Amino acid sequence: MMTGTLKTRQMSLGNRIWQARYLYLLLLPGLIWFVIWCYIPMDGVLLAFKKYNAKLGVFGSQWVGMTNFRRIFITPAAIQAIKNTLQISLTRLMVEFPVPIILALFVNEIRGRRTKKILQTVFTFPHFLSWVVVSLILSNFLSASGLINTVLESFGFQKVNILATVSFFRPLLYMTSNWKEAGWSSIIYLAAITSIDPALYEAAQIDGASRFQQALYITLTGIRETIVLLLILAVGGMMNAGFDQIFNMQNGGVKQVSQIIDTYVYEITFQAAPNYGFSAAVGIFKSGINLILMLAANFVAKRISGTGLFG
């Protein structure tokens, strides 16, 4: 080993590259993949400063400077979408982020192994269905003739079309998102809980701590670092307010509260006369803020745990 490293260090660069030729060969398909599917679409950065002409392509189209970006801030629908994105993301952070933590603490208290396994299987299952499927199941459940309304009616309430009611739509987003994802997200916390030293619990029991105190002072404290990192990660992704879910659940009646940047870009891009330059500008505006948020998140994460979010 020792001589091996010494030898590589003494070799010339060309020699070292030749030595690693098979590694480059293994790397090549992946690099091609990233170039085609990640780097070429980054020409959207150029597109955002141009008036797109299909005949001339992205590179040949005419430059229009900041026109597309300026247009974002004079288009009421775009401003509304940005506002909605931030509002929904912030609320998600407050009402969705804590749920998996609480769920993990609760699941951790289950005594029977079988019960634990069955419950966990059910809790995590919806994560593996797409929002296309989930939204259909839930729309049946929440429709005017669905289960929820039938139950409400039997208690003497009026029937309401829950999905088409503006004031219900956002709470519904948070609830259904928790319904689908909380069980899955709680697994990360449960994994963190299993790495807590059992001696801490024994010591606490000897000191007479109740289960609640143990959960609060040992379990919750033990997973503090995981919580902080996931919170930072969530802040880094704030510009994504949940396209899959909203796209599949929204309807014309609730657009004013449901339209987010991603659904807005979709709508203006895939219509009769799209302005690709403007669509790209909205997309780049979003990606740009995302990049800043992610870099900030990564910086904070590095400060706290010593490593960045992605290696």
Which residue, 130 or 158, is less far from another protein as judged by CB?
130
CB of 247 vs another protein, minimal distance in Å: 8
**Cβ contacts of residue 186 below 8 Å, gap of 6+?**
100, 101, 103, 104, 107, 123
Which residue, 94 or 304, is less far from another protein as judged by CB?
304
CB of 51 vs another protein, minimal distance in Å: 14
CB of 218 vs another protein, minimal distance in Å: 14
Strands in 128-254 per DSSP E: none
Distance CA 106, CA 151 (A): 28
Taking the CA of residue 216 as centre, how many other CA atoms within 13 Å lie in the half-sphere pointing to its CB? Answer: 5
Distance CA 218, CA 25 (A): 49
End-to-end CA distance of the chain: 26
CB of 106 vs another protein, minimal distance in Å: 5
Which residue, 21 or 199, is less far from another protein as judged by CB?
21
CB of 269 vs another protein, minimal distance in Å: 6
Which residue, 23 or 79, is less far from another protein as judged by CB?
23
9, exposed or middle or buried, with CB in 10 Å at 0-12, 13-18, 19+? exposed
